[in-house]
Structure 1
């Protein structure tokens, strides 16, 4: 049974939104060692994580201020920024964000299938892709509460593993127990013998790693999309946002600091090496540590798939809501649980296409599409900052001079990051992302 007159159900509680923001900030990259970022900057990667965390905090703080300022919020990312940037740019942001998460769906489905194949060898990749597609779609189709509860517990598992690592790492630092096979001093000597500098590749390495780290933090802004389905958004979203910087330091900076204490940074950055989590857990003596960490990686990536289906379907629903066209009316219909079923099916269809393509072409296509994510997520963050700045200047009570200066500075940094991405990435990736942006901008049609 469907009803196009209903609105999205406000079923998300504060604990769901807080844990969603946690899950968004903790991706598979951490559990795989964040090797690319560490390889680029060496131990100075810690600076990149702190700086990227500050950038994310300013972006999300602006989102919180916009939520607090408006009494009524529409669905999707556009529901927050529309009052400040206008209908066309809100439309543009929603479609770019939709394209971002569609690329995430493609990349992460391939990732889950690959790691499941490592855990259970001998099964074709397309079988695992099909399982991921069916499971992710079913969870989102049932109800927003089912999605929220699933994400809550997936994020809880990821957080629990990181907390265990931090606790064990701090104990080992205090004990400095050499019988475990490694010590902080040994790892430090091994690191300095290879690269005597904290920043072996200088400022260039830090900037290169910053590009990677910002990409890995993509997903944290997902809480903005939940505004129309949160019971008390003016309480839940600011609470989730206030802890962003603390979560980045707790769940990225501290674990990577511990990795660098116990393992030479060249080993942590080796793309062919085992996850630093697995290495440390193995040395401590936890049985089957490699398989345990592999399961956690699969959970982390499936969490991204689950969130991607939610983000794409709500962005699509946001664009179709109130449409007078036949397709728009169809995609904006809700079922009895007030879930946009048809938007979910359209958005998750790429997963089922992926099952076929993974059986035919392997994963080379996925790597190309996934490369476009770094562009689009940076553009979305820039749009969120532009909207926040326009609010600060238009409504003086929403932001003081210091906040305006800091937000403007972060906006300049993100624009510089976008330019760096254009310069350093292959041209075909830029062209692909540019076409997405052009289509998103010029597809806007003014409502009659």
Structure 2
């Protein structure tokens, strides 16, 4: 029986869904951590992601039988145990993403409609996201398409406006320092990396979190009508999207606004600042609505990812729970798996109330740990394919994959050393549970 049938548009909807709070909420945070050197963080992480996705594409294309989930992609190359580990780590990552994004959209809704308790907005987000995913794959894809269209359109408008402001070199509106400002700041030239290499590494926590989600293409291989066409097409667009929707906006923020102003935690979103200074009325409200749409889009994609990953891991289990979670509705969606995954949204409301303003930063940091682990596993699996079947690719791709693997391993070690121990412990617990929960299937 064919499950979750879709097309390439579905794959693209998932990829656009990855653009969420990492860009709209995280841009100011990473600039504060790394200064202008944050551009280097985005470029390096983007290149690493492209190499990872290229490897995923090769693994998908060189498999005759496509199985759902992360495990279905990597199991033929690294074995069932490590495939099980990768799938559960990835599932737990998206469960944490659900909490982070749901808390974010609830907070911004409260800003837009003050006086209403956060739990009301959280309930709306949880019910709406669950309903969309329960209905059908087509409903998810269509909703995600339009949500993505809105946020992408705003980013493109910002890019066009920013380039125009750079070209006209306008200091009247506060963009591009005038002669007097330049003279007053000549004695203190700005530093490219004011916090050194450690600042760049710290910023990678949010940058990797921002890029996390593009791996969704590997989960949807069994749901596309022609994965050998859809997946490579989606992968080729990854690098273009990263440059267009992350590197260019961050560059414009740094060029048009003093980086210390952008990184001020009390300052409005850089998007709102730029739109407001050019005289767009109610720019802060407009950008608030866009941010809400963007983050809800990420919630929508996260529900899809977690439910499908859970379904793929539990499918075929002889246990009562396995049979329940592996059940499909008449629309061919895993209803119970979606309900289990969506339940974490209600847990997230409680946790966000306990941890307060620092909750998003904590969850984003822990997510970047597990995303890094997932990327490393995908690279190892790709290297196994490359060396087993030498005709798959050339020596340059093998070398690039090996270099990125070493680089990501180094970043992961440095993340453990330089970031709060609570993040490391949280990631370690997830990894231990994922690894030791494996049970070899009986013949």
Please give the secondary structure, in 2, of the residue aligned with 1:243.
Answer: helix
Structure 1 counterpart of 2:99, from 79, 100, 106: 106
- 1:71–1:100 CA distance, 2 compared to 1 (3 A): same
Partner of 1:305: 299
How far apart are the structure 2 equivalents of 1:364 and 1:61? 35
Q: Residue 429 of structure 1 aligns with which residue?
A: 423
Residues 206 and 364 in structure 2, CA contact (< 8 A), matched pair in contact too: no
User: Kindly tell me: are residues 363 and 204 of structure 1, through their superposed partners in 2, closer, same or farther at Cα, counting changes over 3 Å?
Assistant: closer
Are the equivalent residues in 1 in contact too, given 2:202–2:419 (CA < 8 A)? no
Q: Name which of 414, 418, 441 aligns with 1:420.
A: 414
Aligned-partner Cα distance in 2 for 1:379–1:293: 33
CA contact (8 A) 1:140 1:344 kept: yes
- How much is the aligned-residue C-alpha RMSD, in angstroms? 2.2
**Match status 1:30 vs 2:20:** no
Alignment of 1:28-427 (within 5 A): 28-32=21-25, 34-183=27-176, 189=182, 195-355=189-349, 368-427=362-421
Report the Cα distance in structure 2 between the residues aligned to 1:106 and 1:35, rounded to whole angstroms. 21
Change (3 A) 1:266 1:195: farther
Task: Answer whether contact 2:103 2:349 (CA < 8 A) is retained.
Answer: no
| Contact 2:202/2:415 (<8 A) preserved | no
Q: Measured at CA, do residues 27 and 353 of structure 1 come closer, stay the same or move farther in structure 2, by a change above 3 Å?
A: closer
**How far is 1:366 from its partner?**
6.5
1:413 and 1:300 map into 2 onto residues whose CA distance is 30
Query: Distance in 2 between the 1:202 and 1:357 partners?
Result: 33
Change over 3 Å in CA distance of 1:32–1:103 after alignment to 2: closer
Displacement, 1:188? 8.9
Give the deviation of 1:369 after TM superposition. 4.7
Aligned residues: 441
TM-score (norm 2): 0.94
Question: Using a 3 Å threshold, how does the CA distance of structure 1 residues 279 and 193 change in structure 2: closer, same or farther?
Answer: farther
- Cα deviation for residue 416 of structure 1 reads 0.9
Q: CA deviation at 1:131?
A: 0.5
User: Residues 357-412 of structure 1, C-alpha deviation per residue, up to 9 Å, x if partnerless?
Assistant: 66777676676555421211111111111111111011111122111111011001
Residue 8 of structure 1 pairs with residue 40 of structure 2: no
The answer to whether the Cα contact below 8 Å between 1:104 and 1:373 also exists between their aligned partners in 2 is yes
Unaligned runs of 5+ in 2: none
Q: 1:88 to 1:44 in 2, by over 3 A?
A: same
1:438 paired residue number: 432
The SS at the match of 1:73 is coil
CA contact (8 A) 1:110 1:129 kept: yes
Using structure 1 for the length normalisation, give the TM-score. Answer: 0.93
Q: 1 CA distance for matches of 2:167 and 2:115? A: 44
1:204 CA drift (Å) = 3.5
CA offset digits 1:156-186 (Å, max 9, x no partner): 1111111101111112222223443423667
Paired residues of 1:17 and 1:236 also in contact (CA < 8 A): yes
Distance 1:18 1:357 in 2: 32
Larger CA deviation: 181-190 vs 339-348: 181-190
How far is 1:206 from its partner? 2.9
1:126 and 1:358 in contact (8 A); partners too: no
